[in-house]
Amino acid sequence: MLQKIEISSIDQIDRQAADQAASALELGKVVLFPQLAFPLAAGERRIISQDNATSDSKNISFNPQDATLKGSTLPVRDQNELIDLLTRFGDFAEALVCAIAPQYRSGLARMRTSFRPVEIAGRNYSWRKDDRRRHVDAFPSSPTQGARILRVFANVDQHETPRTWRVGPDFETYAKAFLPKTTRQLPGLAGLMALTGITKSRRSLYDQIMLGLHDAAKRDLTWQAATPAEEIGFLPGHIWMAYTDQVPHSVLSGRNALEQTFIVSRNVLQRPEQSPAAIISRLRGVDCLPG
Ligand code: SIN
Ligand code: FE
């Protein structure tokens, strides 16, 4: 479930490396660039090495659409420096995605950029927020209606701490295990949630099923323990990306990561037949995408 691409700058991505990375992504693999570090300036290193998140939030996030930073207790001057860093990482991640899959450019929306300072191991989370349990990503308040969730990560820890993930099984195996446990949405609820602002747009059947697949897996500790996974240690300096709505993943340990989320429109995918929506529709025998 891991595809390594050995390049040391985005300019080195030729046609062959791009095709290899884009196909691996759409087939549900994690694509790792072990040599492609995202360099930090001295001031940025100082910000990363201080005590960074508020006690109730695990991440600090920057929303490029309205230029707001959430979850930080840093003094204003440092917050501005952090915003610059997150913007620079967002630009880097966008350039990387566009180099790998130029056809995504017309269907790519840049969402939040996050800084994840807090050590994952040993914290307490509610089961639904516990990313130490394997899951596929789905957003309760931001339905995608079949568009895809692509995430780019960098480990920027200054002390050689790896960020450890477990990935697997493939999406179809995962979906077969949990589709029977997903529940139907009450008639009228999708419209009501959109109208009252609980969701930013209408929660489609696809979104409802994806949330169900997220929750059912996190709830099932027997499945979590019994189902084999591949463990990957992402070292400081590593850059990696994945369609996290397709690759079952958990994070076991690590601190100080940067992350950029993109929403990718379905109509720019190279292999739409491999997407979660196509697999769910096939397994269910109904089209789960909005018409
Ligand atoms: C997740 O998406 O489950 C968390 C990944 C991470 O923070 O490394
Ligand atoms: Fe996740």
Model confidence at 82, pLDDT cuts 50, 70, 90, reads very high
Atom of ligand 1 nearest to the CA of 131: 3
Residue 54 has pLDDT above 70, yes or no: no
In angstroms, what CA-CA distances link 215 with 115, 117, 178, 226, 286?
A: 24, 25, 9, 17, 22
Position 269, amino acid? L
- Identify the three-state secondary structure at position 277: helix
Q: How far apart are CA 247 and CA 270, in angstroms?
A: 17
> Phi/psi zone of residue 197: left (φ > 0), alpha (ψ -120 to 50 degrees), beta?
left
Measured from the CA of 116, which atom of ligand 1 is nearest?
A: 7
pLDDT score of 55 more than 70: no
Q: Answer yes or no: is the C-beta of 163 below 6 A from any ligand 1 atom.
A: yes
Mean pLDDT of the chain: 94
Residue with tokens 């292999």, as numbered in its chain: 271
Q: Which residue type is seen at 251?
A: V
Q: Which residues, 6 or more positions from 184, have their beta carbon under 8 angstroms from its beta carbon?
A: 208
**In whole angstroms, what is the distance from residue 102 CA to residue 166 CA?**
29
Q: How many residues does the chain have?
A: 291
Does the C-beta of 131 come closer than 6 Å to ligand 1? yes
For residue 256 and ligand 1, the question of a CB distance below 6 A is answered with no
CA dist 28 and 24 (Å) reads 6
pLDDT at 105: 97
Q: What angle do CA 238, 157, 25 make, to 5 degrees?
A: 30
3-state helix, strand and coil shares in percent for the chain, rounded to the nearest 5: 40, 20, 40
Regarding the beta carbon of 26 and ligand 1, being less than 6 Å apart is answered no
Ligand 1 mutation pick, 157, 163, 249, max ligand atoms within 8 A of CB: 249
Domains of the chain (ranges; CATH) run: 2-284 (2.60.120)
Nearest ligand, CA 117: 1
**CB of residue 116 inside a 6 A radius of ligand 1:** yes
DSSP type of residue 122? T
- Omega before 169 cis (within 30°)? yes
Which residue minimizes the CA distance to atom 1 of ligand 1?
131
Percent of the chain at pLDDT > 70 equals 98
Ligand 1, atom 5, residue with closest C-alpha: 251
Mean per-residue pLDDT for 56-63?
A: 85
**Ligand 1, atom 7: nearest CA belongs to which residue?**
251
Distance 111 CA to ligand 2 centre (A): 15
SS3 72: strand
> Strands across the sheet with 163-167, in order?
230-234, 163-167, 249-253
pLDDT, one tens digit per residue, over 89-140 is 999 999 999 999 999 999 999 999 999 999 999 888 899 999 999 999 999 9
Contact partners, residue 242, CB within 8 Å, separation at least 6: 25, 29, 30, 31, 150, 151, 167, 249
Position 252 scores a pLDDT of 97
Ligand 1 centre to CA of 244 (Å) is 9
Predicted model pTM: 0.96
DSSP conformation letters of 2-28: EEE---SSGGG--HHHHHHHHHHHHTT
